[in-house]
Amino acid sequence: MMVSKLRSKAKEASEWVSSKAGIEAQEEATRQSAEVLKRLREEQRVAPKALLARITILIAVLLFSMGASYRTPNFTIQTQSPQLAEEFGKSAEKHRHDLAVLWLGHALPQWNQPCPVTVRVGPGLGAGGATTFVFNKGEVFGWRMTIQGSRLRVLDSVLPHEITHMILASHFRQPLPRWADEGAANSVEDKTERDKRRKMLLQYLTSGRGIAFNRMFAMTEYPADIMPLHAQGLALCEFLVQQGGRRGFVKYLEDGLETDKWVAATKDHYGYRNLGELQNDWVAWVGNGFPGSKPAGSGTAAVRGDGLRTAGGQVVVSGYG
């Protein structure tokens, strides 16, 4: 029983490693995922007492090697210096409160266990990270976050990104469609990071790496080519948030998850008759340089991006940029 439980935990953990974009972050997430899996596989073979001893040693080594630790009600930060640990800890709690209010309209109750957060800080480190957690029988637990970046990017992008994943996981207690989860998390990053993704989105859409919405909505796993999912997820989240706000976006996800009828939920919440129509309007919005106001009705020539078009269910973009 123990083994099968752990096996299902391993499976869920492998399915639910959330990662932030950036090649480095991607590699980190993959490594994290492999580590989690390896650890869980090992757990299946090791007796509980021996396992506990090993974990205790592992944590002691980790704490020692990371220099300093700072504990808040919901996070235990491990990083190079006590000052940074305290700064990240306070920032994480503030993000947790503010982002929960932003997405859900209310603060979250405290988690049963604080989430261990390991932060590598350095001016040359690419911003990114991964958070792992486990869903089981409507509960979410086993938080672990490993992140890196410059001090500023950790504070204004990486922490809010990863904490948004945690807030949504705490709210929904089940996996979200990948595009929506990453889209929401990317949408709370600093503008410099969001602008980078927008630029990359145009590159993806003009080089055949776009993902058709009917395929993207059905994705419960990360695709092998993960970066376009991040960029499209962000731009679609921003597009929908423009039309119905962040709390409206969460309500849309609630509906979609409950019914698993995304076409109907999209129609009810945003008025699009199908995902193709949503995709067409979104492509036009992207092509027009992400205008700030609510886009005009579907399919009008005025809102079509120059050279941007869709065909055969696949996002195809030609002659743009």
Q: Which residues contact 1 (CB under 8 A, 6 or more apart)?
A: none
Stretch that binds Zn ion, among 3-11, 182-190, 241-249, 266-274 (CB under 5 A): 182-190
- The structure tokens listed for 10 are 């391993």
Q: Provide the minimum distance between the beta carbon of 188 and Zn ion in the complex, in angstroms, as a whole number.
A: 11
Crossing angle of the two packed helices 226-259 and 191-205, in degrees rounded to 10? 100
**How many residues make contact with Zn ion (CB under 5 A)?**
4
Amino acid type, 113: Q
Shortest Å, Cβ 207 to Zn ion: 23
Residue 130 interacts with Zn ion (CB under 5 A)?
no
Phi and psi angles of residue 146, each rounded to the nearest 5 degrees, phi first: -130, 120
Q: Which stretch binds Zn ion (CB under 5 A): 6-14, 62-70, 86-94, 184-192?
A: 184-192
Backbone phi, psi, residue 222, to 5°: -70, 140
Single residue of 16, 17, 20, 280 touching Zn ion by CB under 5 A: 20
Asked if 253 contacts 262 with a C-beta cutoff of 8 angstroms, the reply is no
The minimum distance between CB 241 and Zn ion, in angstroms, equals: 17
Residue 182 CB, shortest distance to Zn ion, in Å, is: 5
Among 167, 168, 185, 229, binds Zn ion (CB under 5 A): 185
Q: Which is nearer to Zn ion, 185 or 284 (CB)?
A: 185
CB of residue 167 vs Zn ion: minimum separation in angstroms? 12
Alpha-helical (H) ranges within 132-188 are: 151-153, 159-172, 178-187
Q: Which is nearer to Zn ion, 22 or 116 (CB)?
A: 22
The one among 13, 17, 18, 197 contacting Zn ion by CB under 5 A: 18
Using rule CB under 5 A, residue 178 touches Zn ion: no
Nearest CA to 204 out of 306, 304, 317, 319 is that of 317
Contact in structure between 84 and 119 (CB atoms under 8 Å):
yes
Task: Tell how strand 115-121 and strand 139-149 pair up.
Answer: parallel
Residue with structure tokens 């990017």? 153
| Interface with Zn ion (CB under 5 A) | 18, 20, 182, 185
